[in-house]
Structure 1
Amino acid sequence: MNIFLHILTHNVLPLTIMIAIGITMGKVFRPDIKTLSKLNFYVFSPAMMFELLFHTAISLQLFGQVMLFFFLFMALQYAMVEAVIRIRKYEGGMKNAMRNSVLFYNSANYGIPINQLAFAGNPMSLAVQVLIMMMQNLVPNTYGIYSVNAHKADWRQIRRIILGMPTVYVIPAALLLRRLHAEIPSSIETPIRYLSDAFIGTALITLGIQLGIMTWKITRSAAVDVGLSTVLRLVLGPLIAWLLVLLLGVDGIVASALIVSSAVPTSLSSVLLAVEFDNEPEFASQTVLLSTVLSILSVTAVISSLHLLG
């Protein structure tokens, strides 16, 4: 019960309040959501990524373990969602929207606090979560952009968009500067920190605005699609992660952190991609909202199971 209440009051409730503010803004003022989306993609998200990577200690062994897990986990998730896409016979942008709703999960503003709660601020578990967050930031800015544009643009246009994303350059820069023990002048570090702090609030308000301006007419078919996405993300995601850590022989705090990292709801990135490139924004918003609400129960169950097994 304590874990449930903590997740509710410290994670889900703050997110809900921010989303509610965005919904109100969307209904009353109808702000330009494309501008907000660009701020998230090109300014706030890269700053947050740089800030966390530069200030987190990560060993080479841990880096290798987490990368191996991540690529296998993504491959298995992809196979799983592809089976659903074929069974449901999705076409066009809906195929990519469903993939993104399952493959991209909220490893930053949901995953980091949950990690700190579940493992009492353990530096090893935090390093695991930061690495997962790094990849979950990089993949939407590369594969994610490709997937939502593949059915309506040629490779040259897609490549130009991907190479224009700051995250592609920010991640290696942050890792290299940390490796070289570089010192960043306060005149540069301070604005980076300010921009990083703005990411979560702006992304949540963007989601709320999208929910506020869209038409809430959910057909039976759409409800099934959103429900399927949520089950794939919240139930099968952690089950796949659990099987993987067993097969890879990963144990202890690293194994537990990897399982918890896989249990979080659909990422805001799926909404930002959908809005920025006009690819099923209503479906994307609904999956983020439903998976975030239901994660109160699912994430609590995952953490409780790890406590019992540990």
Structure 2
Amino acid sequence: MNIFIEVVLPVLLVFFIGFLVQKWKKIDIKPVSTVAIYVMMPCLVLRTFYTAEIDIQYVYMVVFSALLLFAMIVINKMYVMIRRYPPKVEDGLILSTAFMNSGNYGAPIILFAYGTAGFDFAVSFMVLQSIIMNFFGVYYAARGGAGIALAIRAVFKMPATYAVIVALLMKATPVGIPENLFMTVDIIAEATIPTVMIILGMQLALIKWGNFDWEKVSFGVIARLFASPAIAYAITLMLPLDPLLAKVLIVSAAMPSAATIVMYAVQFDSEPKLVSSITLITTLISVVTLTVLLMILG
């Protein structure tokens, strides 16, 4: 119960504030999320990569992400083949189960659970997942040659991608980032996590409840909240990971479906109702599953 009160509940309350504000004022989320994506998130990423000690653990993080994504895609393909669903359903299920909300849900949970050291790992993993989601997410939302072209463009449109490059370049130079400039980055970075948490609450308020395909939703819940962290745990046993990083990766893999992926499903008409319903239900159930997982991991 302490884990829920000290780690999960504070995060949920911020989401709930965003949810209530959206229901009350019906705010246009796009301008707010644009500021978060193009100004705030790059500052957080720049600060994290500039101050972090980059070592072999980050290579293991990339390997972990690739293996987890591959495993989740295989599970979805097997389920679709057994149930004989059309390719569009496969795309929708992959979108809602292979990509987790490691940013505006996972990062704050890990910050409360494991402190700033774990948070630095979480932000690095969030950037990696954003790149994967922008590439493979767009690809599965818009299959075919156009999907690949859109996916490549999506990755290079990500400000966080360039923030990583700038941080590593400045880290390699003897001069580095001037202190006053870094202070500006630091101030904006501090506001990023609460802002994206409120945005998630606002996004959840827009998802319509009702007429769910419960068979597919149930599969999505099992795949995202149970199969994904189980596979993540197995992968961490195979890699020589730092114990803290291993916990961060397992907890991140147990996050609900990424809210951002709903936009791709809507934009490319890739089972948007199914994707949004799995996103909503996994977010609600994750309150329990994450609390239990954090108790198990310690």
Q: TM-score, normalised by structure 1?
A: 0.79
- The aligned counterpart of 1:22 is 22
User: 1:1-310 counterparts in 2 under 5 A?
Assistant: 1-26=1-26, 31=28, 41-55=37-51, 57-91=52-86, 93-119=88-114, 121=115, 123=117, 125-150=118-143, 153=146, 155-180=148-173, 182-184=176-178, 186=180, 190=184, 193-194=187-188, 197=191, 201=195, 204-205=198-199, 208=202, 211-212=205-206, 215-219=208-212, 222-250=213-241, 252-307=243-298
Q: Aligned partner of 1:12: which letter?
A: L
1-structure distance, mates of 2:64, 2:147: 32
> Which secondary structure state, in structure 2, belongs to the residue aligned with residue 105 of structure 1?
coil
Q: RMSD between aligned alpha carbons?
A: 3.3
- Residues 133 and 169 (structure 1), Cα distance of their counterparts in 2 relative to 1, 3 Å cut: same
2-structure distance, mates of 1:72, 1:200: 30
Q: Aligned partner of 2:243: which letter?
A: G
Query: Displacement, 1:300?
Result: 1.4
Query: Displacement, 1:135?
Result: 0.9
The superposition leaves residues 241-260 of structure 1 with CA deviations (integer Å, 9 ceiling, x where unpaired) of 11122233546333333222
Q: Aligned partner of 2:49: which letter?
A: L
2-structure distance, mates of 1:210, 1:303: 24
Query: Displacement, 1:192?
Result: 7.9
2-structure distance, mates of 1:93, 1:48: 36
Identity of aligned residues (%): 25
Query: Displacement, 1:240?
Result: 0.8
Q: Which moved more, 1:222-231 or 1:266-275?
A: 266-275
Query: Displacement, 1:111?
Result: 1.9
1-structure distance, mates of 2:269, 2:238: 39
Question: What are structure 1's unaligned runs of at least 5 residues?
Answer: none
Query: Contact 1:36–1:206 (CA<8 Å) still a contact in 2?
Result: no
- Residues 59 and 41 (structure 1), Cα distance of their counterparts in 2 relative to 1, 3 Å cut: closer
Q: Aligned partner of 2:296: which letter?
A: S
Query: Contact 1:115–1:257 (CA<8 Å) still a contact in 2?
Result: yes
Q: How many residues in Structure 1 have an aligned counterpart in Structure 2? A: 297
The superposition leaves residues 172-222 of structure 1 with CA deviations (integer Å, 9 ceiling, x where unpaired) of 22233234362157458637853773575357546635743x654424xx2
Q: Aligned partner of 1:261: which letter?
A: S
2-structure distance, mates of 1:207, 1:87: 35
Question: What are structure 2's unaligned runs of at least 5 residues?
Answer: none
> Which secondary structure state, in structure 2, belongs to the residue aligned with residue 139 of structure 1?
helix
Q: TM-score, normalised by structure 2?
A: 0.82
